[in-house]
Structure 1
Amino acid sequence: MVEEKLKVVIITGMSGAGKTVAVHSLEDLGYFVIDNMLPGLAERFIDVIEDSGEFDKIAMVMDMRSRGFYDEVLPNFEKLKKRSDLDVKLLFLDANDVTLISRYKETRRSHPLSPQGRIFDGVELERKLSTDLKSQADIVIDTTNVTPRNLKLRLNKLFGHGEDNAFYVEVMSFGFKYGLPLDADIVMDVRFLPNPFYIPELKHLTGNDSAVQNYVMQSPLAKEFYQHLRSLLEIALPGYIKEGKSSLTIAIGCTGGQHRSVTIANKLSADLKEKGYKVNTYHRDIEKAK
């Protein structure tokens, strides 16, 4: 049996060319990402990750913030490439000088190689020092005319097993009595639906039980509401994907987070999965009344 190689992506390139977008993109694709890695420590870090067995792909940002970067990065990269247990790729992000200077001016940051001087001088020096590094890169992306969203989509195609995007939906049930979820993008209140809490034989069950599900969904009001909710999401979800959003959290709330919200969240999750979406279902407060 052939062992899977640990995937390693080294992210580098010109300052202001999009490394932050690359970091977030690879994190969304399931990479364990560490920023500002010292080239001389990279191999030891990889060994620790490999021994832990917790991750099968990692990414490391290496740039001139690291002391001795230009002297160390290529020798260490070549050393990693020779290892038979690793699948190593060097990603170099670039942009033309005008674009890089413009991005620095927009953020009002100084260039790392010219902290007290002209941004142009820093960019010019960095480009000169990066010549060999760029020539050795496995992948070079020029972000001059690329929006952050389109850069993310391109990285998804390169490192996401050919998928156009890594979009997934988190469907959460919760109880309003325990507070609103802070990370929700969409919150739906279903406290207007018939409440199984007041039915003695259903009170101690949850929306994971078919008896509760049947009770909630037999209501014409619940059927009409759910139909409208599905129609809304059929319009909204493709729009979120088009805008480059990597995930969406939909929170369904009732009073205690036991019955109605769990029922609707489960039904919504099942329908979205049937539509081909990646879905994670989380019942935040289902155990709190037990």
Structure 2
Amino acid sequence: MNCKKIMKKYLIIFALVLVISQARNEKILASSVIQIIGQPQSVSGEVYTPISMSVTASGENLSYQWEYYDVNSGSWKDYVGQIESVLNAPIYSDWNGLRLRCRVTDGANQVACSNEATVTIVKPLEITSQPKSVSGQVGTPISMSVTASGENLSYQWEYYDVNSGSWKDYVGQTESVLNAPIYSDWNGLRLRCRVTDGANQVACSNEATVTIVKPLEITSQPKSVSGQVGTPISMSVTASGENLSYQWEYYDVNSGSWKDYIGQTESVLNAPIYSDWNGLRL
């Protein structure tokens, strides 16, 4: 009986040791399992833009090999030379849609692969047509436009604030075309358009200027005259405005229309009275 009890006791102890040993091995094995804890992120940019992707893994004696998906063979291939946790490279012209991932190996030759990350090539943002300066009277509707090449473009017109010495957003003007009336304080106003693409690249157009012109107005009218044939006469007109030019006209009763009085291109008309001028309208 004593032998059986002793044997049973040792069997129980042996079983306990076996269970403890197995649990310890499982714990060690679990702690040494390789695991990706930080995944690479997709990137976008123009051709030759430097990009960076990274992977983070837990484990011991880790080594890294970045891979790209070869659409021709339908398989993953090593990206030669990219053997760090961080991939640094320029975007090449044939990389649009390229799929990349990182293969991580630990000291026990366990392997884990990261999620895929994709490279997207975006067209360069470029202003292809610039806004043009405009002029007009106060209240006159004006229009300025900008044309740009790129993807997912957004627009924000800006004005130069002389008080702060900086460019500020023209609130509400977020299209490629600016439409607005000329305000009384706009003479010399400088405007431009800031264009942003889907990759947050920014380009600004050239400046365009608003010039206010005075309204054209006749302020002094010519007066009718009388005299004998051959008598010199003078008529004058006064007008307000900018860069004024003048052309005197006479009413031709035969055609029933106004015609240019050749050579009379000043604000004052000087001429003798001709014999057929009686009743002439000027």
Greater C-alpha Rg: 2
Q: Fold match, TM over 0.5? A: no
Higher strand share: 2
Question: Which TM-score tier does this pair reach, normalised by the shorter chain?
Answer: under 0.3
Relative CO higher for 1 or 2, CA cutoff 8 Å, sep ≥ 6?
1
Judging by fraction of residues, say which structure has more helix. 1
Superposition TM-score, scaled by structure 2 size: 0.21
